Structure 1
Amino acid sequence: MIKNKRSLVTSLSFFIALIFIKPSTATVYEIESENKRLIGEPIIHTVVKGDYFQQLAEQYDVGFLALLAANPEHDPFLLKVDTEVVIPNQMLLPFISRKGIVINLPELRLYYYSPEENKVHVFPVGIGRQGLSTPLTSTVIGEKRKDPDWRPTKEMQKRHFAEHGEYLPDVVPAGPNNPFGKYALRLGTSEYLIHGSNKRFGIGMRASSGCIRMYDDDIKWLFDNVPVNTKVRVVNQPVKMSFENGDKQLIEIHQQLSDLETTKGNVILTKAMQRFVGTNREYWQQLLPVIEKPHGLVVELAK
């Protein structure tokens, strides 16, 4: 009986903590020059009693899967006190022009480049699950909507009926049951949106039907600061590379999304990557474990 009471207290504490977690808003990085792509600094978090991965992901405004990949030795729900967790807050900018919004699907991150400052705002995002991938595209923010209605598509209705034996309502108005949350930004004139969510989980994961999910505070910031007609590029770059200061060779490898149309075979070993790493055997030996199990952290190739 005492054991059951303790378990109940632990469970209640878990859910109370979850309710009161408040994610920080965008992580902002200075861009030193057009020639540099490395931003941020690695953060080491020392675990205290009650810490778990979802709470840390929201606290540091990073994705759940990014946290998991960077710390494969940890149990995400039973972290040991005084152990260290790597917070993946250092990264290389995607290889694309630094304008507007860039969403790199394999790393589950959204970058917004300030038009009047040398700064980039970085957010974790949830994207389409396997079989319902978020499409690669070049478009603009076509519309912004506060308190949007949610109208499930015919395909969603069919899937929900097949899985649950009942249809979804035709329209879900703004409120706690609305999957879009409080704000939505439409990609062009398509059915795909960047939006909030009525669920705490799924940010930084492949969990949506193709739309791009964000934490409530993050989507509010984007809604308030990004105008209609802002350029948006959704890209697939599982490998990012950079020569920093003309000498440092840096590489960042993420798990590839095998169901994207542009992904054929092993995208990790591209010709660009082979040219970048070269023929140095020590470099390849250093990278082999990362290629086999990508952790999404910046690696400096060193002899």
Structure 2
Amino acid sequence: MIKPVAFFHWLPLLMAASVFSLILPAHANTWPLPPEGSRVVGENRFHVVENDGGSLEAIAKKYNVGFLALLQANPGVDPYVPRAGSVLTIPLQTLLPDAPRVGIVINLAELRLYYYPQDKNVVTVYPIGIGQLGGDTLTPTMVTTVSDKRANPTWTPTANIRARYKAQGTILPAVVPAGPDNPMGHHAIRLAAYGGVYLLHGTNADFGIGMRVSSGCIRLRDGDIETLFRVVQPGTKVNIINTPIKTSVEPGGIRLVEVHQPLSKDIDDDPQTLPIVLTSAMKTFKAAPQTDADVMTKVLELRSGMPVDVTRHGEAVQQM
């Protein structure tokens, strides 16, 4: 049996989170950092679909989660017209990535950005859109810094982007001016690596956050990029990783696994069934006597994108 993560022992942290929520924008999912040795933040919520409750994208936007994250947490739900009365899990609980908690950490596989403000014991989690399948539209992993930021940016599409749009029947100008037709939205944060071609930016479209939709840049909802733009300064460290599996041994011995669909490499790939290659550390985690390997195997198959307790309980551990 796959067990959800119990969170009664995180009550003090969640109370602190409610205090932080009073001073941050309404849709910012900001949580206090967990105690030493822990990686769990956040708490899942539940949403009852009302009559004419809107699409899954509208619900994802309400809670500021990504579209695919909401779809993975609720397999079988109709993404266009969720059934009235059905209860959806809102996946706000997550394991922090295995990366230094400094500046901005982006995990491409989970389509999330983690921002660790300097000298504050909190993390804000944002859903993002990333690069589409295709040669020059993939978002690469990198360790870099913020080099510049600009409000009301213009967009200068590359020659490859203009050629791709032309093949689809759209002629792009050499420079798209700031305004409602600019797909970069109202704010852009430039990264130093690769000659500055990759940016964090907003969007002029409501759809696509939490999906692979961009030409390689990292896309955020307009309210999110506006907040990030205000607090992030040039020189801020940015670490972009691609890790579909995260594990944690929590204080007290609880063992958690969070599995996301790996990024497709081909248009015909099914990310729900693509093989996931375990690192040596993850193989060791799975083989440990404290881990229920059968449950972990099921979690690897389900790929719900949420932390799951895979601890082996009872006499089975004592006998091994």
Q: Shared fold (TM-score greater than 0.5)? A: yes
Change (3 A) 1:117 1:105: same
Shift of 1:34: 3.4
How is 1:9-88 mapped onto 2 (pairs within 5 angstroms)? 24-51=26-53, 52-88=55-91
**What residue number does 1:206 align with?**
212
* Cα distance in 2, alignment partners of residues 70 and 287 from structure 1: 17
* Cα distance in 2, alignment partners of residues 162 and 196 from structure 1: 25
Whether the 8 Å CA contact 1:24–1:58 is kept in 2: the answer is: no
Scaled by the length of structure 2, what TM-score is found? Answer: 0.82
Whether the 8 Å CA contact 1:268–1:291 is kept in 2: the answer is: no
Deviations 1:92-143 (A, max 9, x none): 0000110000000000000000111110010000000112210111001100
Whether the 8 Å CA contact 1:195–1:219 is kept in 2: the answer is: yes
Out of 131, 137, 142, the residue aligned to residue 128 of structure 1 is 131
* Cα distance in 1, alignment partners of residues 288 and 98 from structure 2: 23
Q: Does 1:182 align with 2:186?
A: yes
Shift of 1:191: 0.6
Scaled by the length of structure 1, what TM-score is found? Answer: 0.87
> Comparing 23-32 with 280-289, which one deviates more in the overlay?
280-289
Partner of 2:161, secondary structure, is helix
* Cα distance in 2, alignment partners of residues 89 and 243 from structure 1: 20
**Structure 2: stretches of 5+ with no match in the other structure:** 1-24, 267-273, 313-320
* Cα distance in 2, alignment partners of residues 37 and 121 from structure 1: 14
Out of 116, 119, 142, the residue aligned to residue 137 of structure 1 is 142
Deviations 1:147-182 (A, max 9, x none): 000111000111112221x53111111111001000
* Cα distance in 2, alignment partners of residues 176 and 77 from structure 1: 26
Identity %: 44
How is 1:107-256 mapped onto 2 (pairs within 5 angstroms)? 107-131=110-134, 132-164=137-169, 166-188=170-192, 189-256=195-262
Whether the 8 Å CA contact 2:200–2:218 is kept in 1: the answer is: yes
**Structure 1: stretches of 5+ with no match in the other structure:** 1-22
Change (3 A) 1:191 1:283: same
Shift of 1:283: 2.1
**What residue number does 1:18 align with?**
none
Whether the 8 Å CA contact 1:133–1:259 is kept in 2: the answer is: no
Shift of 1:76: 1.5
* Cα distance in 1, alignment partners of residues 234 and 158 from structure 2: 24
Change (3 A) 1:32 1:280: closer
Deviations 1:277-300 (A, max 9, x none): 215598232233332241101110
1:254 partner letter: H
Partner of 1:121, secondary structure, is strand
TM superposition outliers: structure 1 runs of 4+ over 6 Å: none
**What residue number does 1:275 align with?**
284
* Cα distance in 1, alignment partners of residues 154 and 113 from structure 2: 24
Whether the 8 Å CA contact 1:112–1:122 is kept in 2: the answer is: yes
* Cα distance in 2, alignment partners of residues 99 and 173 from structure 1: 34
> Comparing 34-43 with 173-182, which one deviates more in the overlay?
34-43
